[in-house]
């Protein structure tokens, strides 16, 4: 077939086991991809998706090796090449867009230097031509200020922008094939739409062949032409998107679809453990303001991120915090954890004031509030084994060492659904989902009362994510542990939480029970978030263009006092003369939710069709 761009036959990859014996992790995989086609590789964490995708670059993870089969890309037998020839192939013939753009960029170099580097390394064009082409790609990928964004550094752009810049880096060499490895996993729902739309448009315009690795079936439905379903390193099913999603032939594919449907249908399942209203809350926050930089004598940070935030978490309760990147979710968790000093307001833990700084907290408070970080790649020490990573908190908080620490490590790994053999492995040899579960096990080692979960399921597939949610339920039921659950996955928040708050630009714009996410009317911003969750049907993304996504307002400096609705520039329900002139009142909707908005409940319900039209 002359139009075949990728041909994989009988591919086998092995990994060294703990006893030195080789373990087969990819078992005779076959598939083809035609020129200009997008093939999705889907399956649970550990199914071999990324391992197979990386073989297209002639690469295996440390500790792994090719054991058989063939991989041909654009007519070249990749496995027959020596290492030098494989390096020459990467970026030029096959490019790679990683899951974590933050970990893929050098913080000390400008974005332009890094985006143009592949073209310059392969001597494809002069520096000025590479810079001009980069600007064209920035424009095609809908990046702001395409002529100047390249002069910034990675920390000066958002996560969604950085992901698109990584795509520009991949596209600058005009590769025949691009491998997208979970490129939108860590993005909020509105940013994900922007990135997916930009990727899809550029792939179509350039005519690039793509392999898209994902565990999100709804995303795959928007991006792919064909699907290969993997489990345990073997192909379970392959076919056109419509056939696989609408009429799956294999029981495993049906199980994946069923797990996705269950997650979408869950709502407040953990609420049965809700504490009595008469019980004092475990955590209470009143009038919180916080930010970064020096705090002046009036208590104002140089850059304000949170302003007048109020919330409470009951003993054994779970509070969901949702909002786009930059809304202040992670800063809120870091304030509670003592990693960011608050500028104003009160934080009470079990009715006692909680010091802004870790140095002012008691050892017991320090142990009982644990934070699970979002990015396991940067949270886990790559030079330590999992046993060493878990051993540190066991020794620090519990004084466990030697055989006792080994026993408890095995128990923790079992809690997060990892085999005991994981203890001897290092993070670099684990999948993204496995690393996140180790990240969670480390927090559990302290036996905390409150776990601040910062996007803890964002890197997990539907099935493994469901197992983690089940673990959260069990811990809550058995131990009475409480959660602040930060997520951009609205279906997960529905399933996990008793109460929900919605943050926008550092302010709480809505608060209520999880059903507020299912029952309009909402605050217009909540409505935008709900409507931006991808649906498991073809064509949804194309119908959701122009959804009103744009950058959040600039973080306020100094005293601020910005009382006007910060969502007004994006809001389809805004009222000229009110929204731009006076602070929004606090209203209570029929659902019981409280919102900051000038519109009444009846007005918001009538305006529901306008959502996304801004």
Residue-wise pLDDT tens digits, 71-93: 999 999 999 999 999 999 998 89
Closest by alpha carbon to 540, among 233, 318, 217, 99? 217
Task: Indicate the burial class of 130 (C-beta count within 10 angstroms; 0-12, 13-18, 19 or more).
Answer: buried
pLDDT of residue 23: 86
- Mean of pLDDT values over 501-506: 92
Contact predicate 279/315, CB 8 Å: yes
115, 303, 328, 501, 613 from 341: Cα distances, Å: 36, 12, 14, 21, 39
Question: H or E stretch including 180?
Answer: strand 177-181
More confident residue, 347 or 160: 347
pLDDT of residue 457: 77
Residue 13 corresponds to which tokens in the numbers above?
């990859």
Question: From CA 210, how far away is CA 203, in angstroms rounded?
Answer: 8
Residue-wise pLDDT tens digits, 89-143: 998 899 999 877 877 899 999 999 999 999 999 999 999 999 999 999 999 888 8
Q: Out of 72-86, 302-316, 449-463, which region has the weakest mean confidence (pLDDT)?
A: 449-463
- Mean of pLDDT values over 388-405: 96
pLDDT bin (cut points 50, 70, 90) of residue 583 is very high
**Can 4-265 and 269-497 be said to share one CATH topology?**
yes
Q: Which residues contact 2 (CB under 8 A, 6 or more apart)?
A: none
pLDDT bin (cut points 50, 70, 90) of residue 609 is low
Residue-wise pLDDT tens digits, 545-567: 554 444 555 444 444 445 788 89
Residue 284 corresponds to which tokens in the numbers above?
């209470």
Q: What residues are paired with 32 via a beta bridge?
A: 7
Question: H or E stretch including 101?
Answer: helix 101-104
Closest by alpha carbon to 130, among 114, 151, 144, 152? 114
Question: From CA 501, how far away is CA 283, in angstroms rounded?
Answer: 15
Contacts 24+ apart (CB under 8 A), 249-256: 253/229, 255/463, 256/42, 256/43, 256/44, 256/217, 256/229, 256/462, 256/463
pLDDT bin (cut points 50, 70, 90) of residue 223 is very high
Question: From CA 464, how far away is CA 259, in angstroms rounded?
Answer: 10
Query: What 3-state class would DSSP assign to 485?
Result: strand
Contact predicate 497/270, CB 8 Å: yes
Residue-wise pLDDT tens digits, 425-446: 999 888 777 888 898 899 999 9
Contact predicate 474/450, CB 8 Å: no
Residue 356 corresponds to which tokens in the numbers above?
């802004």
| Max intra-chain CA distance, the chain | 73
pLDDT of residue 555: 47
Question: H or E stretch including 97?
Answer: strand 94-97
- pLDDT exceeds cutoff 80 at 581: yes
**pLDDT mean across residues, the chain:** 86
Q: CATH for 269-497?
A: 3.40.50.300
pLDDT of residue 271: 44
pLDDT of residue 503: 94
Give the whole-number percent of the chain exceeding pLDDT 70: 91
Mutual angle of helices 159-171 and 127-140, in 10-degree steps: 130
- pLDDT exceeds cutoff 60 at 610: no
Map out the domains of the chain as residue ranges: 4-265, 269-497
pLDDT bin (cut points 50, 70, 90) of residue 488 is confident
Q: What residues are paired with 378 via a beta bridge?
A: none
- At 10, give phi and psi (nearest 5°): 55, 35
Flag whether the pTM goes above 0.85.
Answer: no
Write the DSSP string, 42-66: E-STTSSHHHHHHHTTT---TTEEE
- pLDDT exceeds cutoff 80 at 293: no
More confident residue, 242 or 18: 242
480 φψ region: left (φ > 0), alpha (ψ -120 to 50), beta (else): left
Closest by alpha carbon to 170, among 146, 145, 197, 206? 206
Write the DSSP string, 389-452: HHHHHHHHHH---HHHHHHHHHHHHHHTT--GGGGG--GGGS-HHHHHHHHHHHHHTT--SEEE
Closest by alpha carbon to 165, among 191, 139, 188, 197? 139
pLDDT bin (cut points 50, 70, 90) of residue 492 is confident
CB atoms under 10 Å from CB of 132, counted, come to: 12
Residue-wise pLDDT tens digits, 208-217: 999 999 988 8
Contact predicate 524/573, CB 8 Å: yes
Question: From CA 511, how far away is CA 470, in angstroms rounded?
Answer: 25
Question: From CA 492, how far away is CA 461, in angstroms rounded?
Answer: 12
Q: Which residues contact 389 (CB under 8 A, 6 or more apart)?
A: 380, 381, 427, 438, 442
Q: Which residues contact 194 (CB under 8 A, 6 or more apart)?
A: 142, 160, 549
Question: From CA 199, how far away is CA 203, in angstroms rounded?
Answer: 6
Cα angle 361, 365, 368; round to 5: 150
Residue 43 corresponds to which tokens in the numbers above?
């399956």
pLDDT bin (cut points 50, 70, 90) of residue 598 is very high
Question: From CA 41, how far away is CA 33, in angstroms rounded?
Answer: 12
Task: Indicate the burial class of 350 (C-beta count within 10 angstroms; 0-12, 13-18, 19 or more).
Answer: middle
Q: Out of 55-59, 272-276, 354-358, 504-508, which region has the weakest mean confidence (pLDDT)?
A: 272-276
Question: From CA 100, how far away is CA 184, in angstroms rounded?
Answer: 9
Query: What 3-state class would DSSP assign to 172?
Result: coil
Tokens 């991808």, residue?
534
Residue-wise pLDDT tens digits, 152-189: 999 888 777 888 899 999 999 999 999 999 888 767 78
pLDDT bin (cut points 50, 70, 90) of residue 204 is confident
Question: From CA 243, how far away is CA 541, in angstroms rounded?
Answer: 19
pLDDT bin (cut points 50, 70, 90) of residue 422 is very high
Tokens 């620490």, residue?
405
- Mean of pLDDT values over 472-494: 85
pLDDT of residue 401: 95
Q: Out of 11-25, 199-213, 235-249, 387-401, which region has the weakest mean confidence (pLDDT)?
A: 11-25
Q: Which CATH superfamily is domain 4-265 in?
A: P-loop containing nucleotide triphosphate hydrolases (3.40.50.300)
pLDDT of residue 365: 93
Residues in the chain: 614
Question: From CA 138, how far away is CA 429, in angstroms rounded?
Answer: 34
Question: H or E stretch including 465?
Answer: helix 462-479
Closest by alpha carbon to 41, among 201, 315, 231? 231
Tokens 């979970």, residue?
182
pLDDT of residue 494: 85
- At 34, give phi and psi (nearest 5°): -80, 160
Q: Which residues contact 155 (CB under 8 A, 6 or more apart)?
A: 107
Question: From CA 250, how far away is CA 248, in angstroms rounded?
Answer: 6
R_g over Cα of the chain = 25
Q: Out of 152-156, 259-263, 303-307, 330-334, which region has the weakest mean confidence (pLDDT)?
A: 259-263
Dihedral sign for Cα 560, 563, 567, 569, please: negative
pLDDT of residue 613: 42
């Amino acid at each position: 077939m002359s139009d075949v761009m990728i041909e994989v036959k009988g591919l086998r990859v092995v990994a060294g086991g703990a006893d030195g014996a080789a373990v087969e992790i990819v078992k005779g995989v076959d598939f083809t991809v035609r020129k200009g086609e997008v093939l999705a590789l889907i399956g649970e964490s550990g199914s071999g998706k990324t391992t197979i995708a990386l073989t297209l670059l002639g690469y295996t993870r440390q500790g792994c090796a090719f054991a058989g089969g063939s991989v041909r890309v654009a007519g070249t037998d990749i496995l027959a090449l020596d290492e030098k020839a494989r390096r020459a192939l990467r970026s030029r013939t096959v490019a790679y867009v990683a899951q974590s753009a933050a970990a893929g960029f050098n913080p000390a170099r400008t974005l332009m230097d890094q985006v143009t580097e592949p073209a310059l390394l392969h001597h494809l064009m002069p520096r000025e031509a590479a810079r001009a082409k980069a600007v064209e790609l920035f424009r095609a990928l809908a990046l702001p200020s395409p002529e100047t964004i390249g002069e910034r550094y990675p920390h000066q752009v958002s996560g969604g922008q950085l992901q698109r810049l990584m795509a520009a880096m991949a596209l600058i060499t005009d590769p025949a094939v691009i491998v997208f490895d979970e490129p939108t996993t860590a993005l909020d729902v509105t940013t994900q739409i922007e990135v997916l739309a930009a990727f899809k448009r550029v792939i179509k315009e350039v005519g690039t062949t793509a392999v898209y690795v994902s565990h999100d079936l709804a995303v795959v439905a928007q991006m792919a032409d064909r699907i290969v379903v993997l489990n345990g390193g073997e192909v379970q099913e392959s076919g056109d998107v419509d056939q696989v999603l609408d009429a799956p032939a294999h029981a495993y594919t049906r199980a994946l679809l069923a797990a996705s449907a269950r997650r979408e249908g869950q709502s407040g399942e953990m609420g049965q453990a809700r504490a009595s209203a008469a019980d004092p809350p475990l955590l209470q926050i009143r009038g919180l303001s916080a930010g970064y930089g020096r705090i002046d004598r009036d208590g104002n940070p140089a850059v304000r991120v949170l302003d007048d935030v109020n919330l409470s978490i009951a003993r054994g309760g779970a509070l969901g915090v949702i909002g786009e990147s930059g809304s202040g979710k992670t800063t809120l968790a870091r304030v509670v954890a003592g990693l960011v000093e608050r500028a104003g307001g009160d934080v009470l833990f079990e009715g006692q004031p909680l010091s802004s700084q870790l140095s002012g907290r008691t050892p017991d408070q320090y142990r009982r509030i644990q934070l699970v970080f979002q990015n396991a790649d940067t949270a886990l020490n790559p030079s330590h084994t999992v046993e060493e990573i878990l051993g540190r908190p066991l020794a620090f908080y519990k004084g466990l060492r030697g055989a006792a620490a080994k026993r408890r490590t095995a128990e923790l790994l079992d809690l997060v659904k990892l085999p005991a053999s994981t203890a001897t492995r290092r993070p670099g040899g684990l999948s993204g989902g496995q690393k996140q579960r180790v990240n969670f096990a480390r927090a559990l080692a302290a036996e905390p009362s409150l776990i601040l979960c910062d996007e803890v399921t964002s890197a997990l597939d539907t099935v493994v994510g469901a197992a983690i949610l089940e673990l959260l339920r069990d811990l809550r039921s058995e131990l009475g542990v409480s959660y602040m659950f930060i997520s951009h996955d609205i279906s997960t928040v529905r399933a996990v939480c008793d109460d929900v708050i919605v943050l926008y630009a550092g302010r709480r714009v809505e608060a209520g029970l999880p059903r507020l996410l299912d029952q309009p009317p909402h605050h217009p911003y909540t409505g935008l978030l709900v409507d931006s969750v991808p649906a498991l049907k073809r064509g949804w993304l194309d119908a959701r263009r122009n959804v009103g996504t744009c950058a959040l307002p600039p973080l306020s400096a100094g005293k601020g006092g910005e009382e006007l609705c910060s969502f007004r520039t994006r809001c389809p329900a805004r009222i000229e003369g009110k929204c731009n002139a006076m602070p929004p009142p606090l209203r209570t909707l029929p659902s019981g939710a409280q919102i900051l908005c000038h519109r009444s409940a009846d007005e918001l319900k009538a305006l529901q069709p306008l959502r996304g039209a801004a």
